[in-house]
Amino acid sequence: MKPVNAMPAAFAASRPGRAQPFADVVAENLDAVYRYLVYLTGDRVAAEDLAAETFEKAYRGWRRFDPQRGAPRTWLCRIAHSVAVDWFRAEARRQRREDNYMRDAAMLEESVFGDGFSPDLDQALHRLTPAEREVVALRVLLELDGPSAARVLGISQTACSTRLSRALQRLEEEVGDVRR
Amino acid sequence: MSAGEFEGHESLIAQLRAGTLDAPDHLSRRVLALGPGKRARVPMSRRRKVFILVPVAATLAVAAAVINGAVNSGTNPKASGAAVDSRAVGHQPAQGAVGALGPTGAMGATGETGVTGATRPTGPTGSAALTGAHGPTSAYNGTQAAPLRSGVHSDKKALFGTADSLTIATDRLVHAVATLEVAVPSHRALTRATNNATEIVTQLGGYAQHVQYDASRTGPGNAFLDIRVPVGKAETAIRMLGGLGTLLSQSLTTKDLQQKSTKQTSQIGQLQRAIRIYEQALQSGTLSGSQRVDVQIRLAEAQHELAATHKAHGRTLASGRTAEIKLTLTSRNHHAVVAGPHKRGRLGRLLHNAAGFLALEAIVVLYILIVAVPIVLLGALLWWFTSGRRRRDERRLLASA
């Protein structure tokens, strides 16, 4: 596993305000953003598209990025969150028109959230809402700190902590249910 | 990261972190195809922006004020200042003249202001012309210069030295009301000027109907004189009274009484004729009893009306024979009006103009703030509502999807 969750050494060493080439940011954060989007959407294909869209947006706005206001990963996750919300809206409209039973069934056949996951865990993750999976991805997988995760989610730090606690609790319960 | 948040879920966390989920190679290629990108520009922080923008804005404002001050201070103060304050600027010293004041017309009108000597000040040069001699009512308002003297007892030539005197028509019956405001340098001068004014008026065949003198040891002093002089001497009186000190302002209103007088004379003639007819009718003895009573009533009315018209005509003639002059002598504004401009050099004018311009800028900024703040607040409120609604929708969407 690549150390996508850990703060890159180069970035960690960089002082606030120090400029960084965009290519370096892509190399350091692509996996993390992709993983975050997979957790959020529960759909690898969609996550790929959304990750690409996220980085396109980030590329266009790179000159406006202010390192003093947060890490690039937080900024990218914020963009990804916005892109994913748009996708969810579109998806909700689409699902009203189409029956997507087949797609959901196909998705369940293979592990979505991580290679090497037990089917129980994967299925339990599927049962969580996107909001719950999102906070798990940000705090557990991407290892963002509380304030950064709260900023990405657009909620307070306390609300973020509560949401994480409930999400983990529910995930434990879902894993138990699936095993039974 | 708070370990307490994951407490009790260590096994689950370990499982979640054990899974591998890397971006596929084609996604990496797709994203990296965007290019290496330029280095992020390091934007300025808000505090830094404020630290830079505020001094820059202040410097620009001050620079604009100084440039404005420099541009305006270089011009002739008589010409440039008239539109600002006719009273104050009306006493700016003329170039090359010592002890003489350059006149300007009221309402910002400027005119010839040349002064050739200290003992020969120029007269009023306002654009307003005296037209009252030919119309029913007219008014002249202007600031007339007078020689700067240390006291009232300057030579008599100087008193009459104000050229271009105001004229009052003498070929028609005219009622004239003049208002003069004259500054004197001190309380002692105020007393002398008050006495002199009474003396001048008496010499001219007039009188002071009302005199009010207010002065204290520390505060400003004022004397108000309500004067009546024969119309024929009014111009002379105005000139002499205006020369009692520094003339701050003067106005002259004339009202033509000729038509009124003619009408009253005509009415008197008609009434006299009517009375004669009534008297003849009564003396003829041809009237019946009731007719006689009626004629007697009419005769009494006509006689009464004739007496009233005679009185009114007398008042009109009296009004046309005398002119009212309301003279205000003051020691209040003398230093501010006369001494100030003399002490102010070009640098002083520059600073004065710059300060005025800065005040104007401040007013503009204040006005903008007053107008803009409610709009900004409204916009902020709208943004707050919109973003809150969007966030709620988003939360609902992610919780239910």
Decide if B20 and A17 are in contact by the 8 Å CB cutoff.
no
Rg value, chain A, Cα: 17
- Using an 8 Å CB-CB cutoff, list chain A residues near B2: 146, 161
Residue range B362-390: mean pLDDT, rounded:
93
List, in order, residues 6 or more apart from A54 with CB less than 8 Å away.
A33, A37, A76, A79, A80, A83
Shared domain for B143 and B114, answered yes or no, is yes
Longest CA pairwise span in chain A (Å):
53
Shared domain for B233 and B265, answered yes or no, is no
- Using an 8 Å CB-CB cutoff, list chain A residues near B13: 140, 168
Q: Which of B21, B46, B47, B398 to mutate to test the interface with A (most CBs of A within 10 A)?
A: B21
Mark which residues 40-69 of A lie under 8 Å from B by CB.
40, 48, 51-52, 55-56, 59, 62-68
pLDDT digits (tens, 9 = 90+) for B119-168: 333 333 333 333 333 333 344 443 333 333 333 333 333 333 444 556 77
Model pLDDT, residue A101: 53
Residue range B208-233: mean pLDDT, rounded:
84
Out of B1, B24, B41, closest to residue A48 by CB = B24
Shared domain for B186 and B331, answered yes or no, is yes
Shared domain for B144 and B154, answered yes or no, is yes
Whether B13 maps to a domain, the answer reads no
Residue range B210-238: mean pLDDT, rounded:
84
Quote the number of domains for chain B: 3
Out of B18, B38, B395, closest to residue A131 by CB = B395
Model pLDDT, residue A118: 80
Question: Is B242 within 8 Å of B144 (Cβ atoms)?
Answer: yes
The residue in chain A having the minimum alpha-carbon distance to the alpha carbon of residue B37 is A22
Whether A11 maps to a domain, the answer reads no
Full 3-state SS string of B192-254 = HHHHHHHHHHHHCCCEEEEEEEECCCCCCCEEEEEEEEEHHHHHHHHHHHHCCCEEEEEEEEE
Residue range B304-312: mean pLDDT, rounded:
93
What DSSP element (H or E) covers B383? helix B346-400
Distance from CA of B381 to the nearest CA of A (A): 18
Model pLDDT, residue A115: 74
Model pLDDT, residue B166: 63
- The phi, psi pair for A17, rounded to 5°, reads 90, -10
Per-residue pLDDT band at B334 (split at 50, 70, 90): very low
Distance from CA of A9 to the nearest CA of B (A): 18
- Using an 8 Å CB-CB cutoff, list chain B residues near A31: 21-23
Whether A15 maps to a domain, the answer reads no
Tell me the average pLDDT of chain B.
73
Whether B128 maps to a domain, the answer reads yes
Shared domain for B186 and B162, answered yes or no, is yes
Determine how β-strand B207-214 pairs with β-strand B246-256: unpaired
Which range among B63-72, B154-163, B308-317 shows the weakest confidence by mean pLDDT? Answer: B154-163
Whether B130 maps to a domain, the answer reads yes
Shared domain for B350 and B337, answered yes or no, is no
- The tokens for B107 are 């309402």
Decide if A63 and B40 are in contact by the 8 Å CB cutoff.
yes
Whether A122 maps to a domain, the answer reads yes
- Using an 8 Å CB-CB cutoff, list chain A residues near B394: 85, 154
Shared domain for B117 and B202, answered yes or no, is yes
Per-residue pLDDT band at B42 (split at 50, 70, 90): low
Whether B2 maps to a domain, the answer reads no
Shared domain for B227 and B365, answered yes or no, is no
Model pLDDT, residue B47: 79
CA–CA dist B46, B133 (Å, integer): 71
Whether this prediction's pTM lies above 0.90 is answered by no
Decide if B1 and A143 are in contact by the 8 Å CB cutoff.
yes
Decide if A164 and B394 are in contact by the 8 Å CB cutoff.
no
Model pLDDT, residue B85: 37
List, in order, residues 6 or more apart from B172 with CB less than 8 Å away.
B133, B256, B257, B258
Domain carrying residue A168: 20-179
Is residue B328 pLDDT above 80, yes or no?
yes
Per-residue pLDDT band at B38 (split at 50, 70, 90): low
For tokens 């003051």, the residue is B330
Shared domain for B295 and B365, answered yes or no, is no
ipTM of the prediction:
0.72
Low pLDDT (below 70) residues in chain A:
1-20, 97-110, 180
Out of B23, B40, B42, closest to residue A34 by CB = B23
Model pLDDT, residue B187: 81
SS3 of residue B180 by DSSP:
strand
Domain carrying residue B114: 96-257+323-343
Is residue B235 pLDDT above 90, yes or no?
no
Model pLDDT, residue A71: 87
Closest CA to A120 of A167, A165, A173, A169: A173
Model pLDDT, residue B106: 35
DSSP designation for B101: B
Quote the number of domains for chain A: 1
Out of A19, A34, A134, closest to residue B40 by CB = A19
Residue A165 belongs to domain with CATH number? 1.20.140.160
Whether B295 maps to a domain, the answer reads yes
Whether B36 maps to a domain, the answer reads no
Decide if A89 and B397 are in contact by the 8 Å CB cutoff.
yes
Determine how β-strand B174-183 pairs with β-strand B322-330: parallel
pLDDT digits (tens, 9 = 90+) for B249-297: 888 888 888 888 899 999 999 999 999 999 988 888 888 888 889 999 9
Q: What's the number of CA atoms in the CB half-sphere (13 Å) around residue B134?
A: 3
Shared domain for B267 and B375, answered yes or no, is no
pLDDT digits (tens, 9 = 90+) for B178-203: 898 888 888 888 888 899 998 998 98
- Using an 8 Å CB-CB cutoff, list chain B residues near A66: 42-43, 45
Shared domain for B107 and B172, answered yes or no, is yes
Whether A10 maps to a domain, the answer reads no
Whether A157 maps to a domain, the answer reads yes
Is residue B58 pLDDT above 80, yes or no?
yes
Decide if A116 and B23 are in contact by the 8 Å CB cutoff.
no
Q: Which of A78, A104, A113, A117 to mutate to test the interface with B (most CBs of B within 10 A)?
A: A117
Model pLDDT, residue B236: 86
C-alpha angle A131-A136-A142 in degrees, rounded to nearest 5: 120
Mark which residues 131-150 of A lie under 8 Å from B by CB.
131, 134, 136, 139-141, 143, 145-146
Whether A3 maps to a domain, the answer reads no
Per-residue pLDDT band at B371 (split at 50, 70, 90): very high
List, in order, residues 6 or more apart from A175 with CB less than 8 Å away.
A120, A121, A124, B12
Whether A97 maps to a domain, the answer reads yes
Is residue B101 pLDDT above 60, yes or no?
no
Shared domain for B332 and B308, answered yes or no, is no
Whether A13 maps to a domain, the answer reads no
Model pLDDT, residue A19: 60
Whether B121 maps to a domain, the answer reads yes
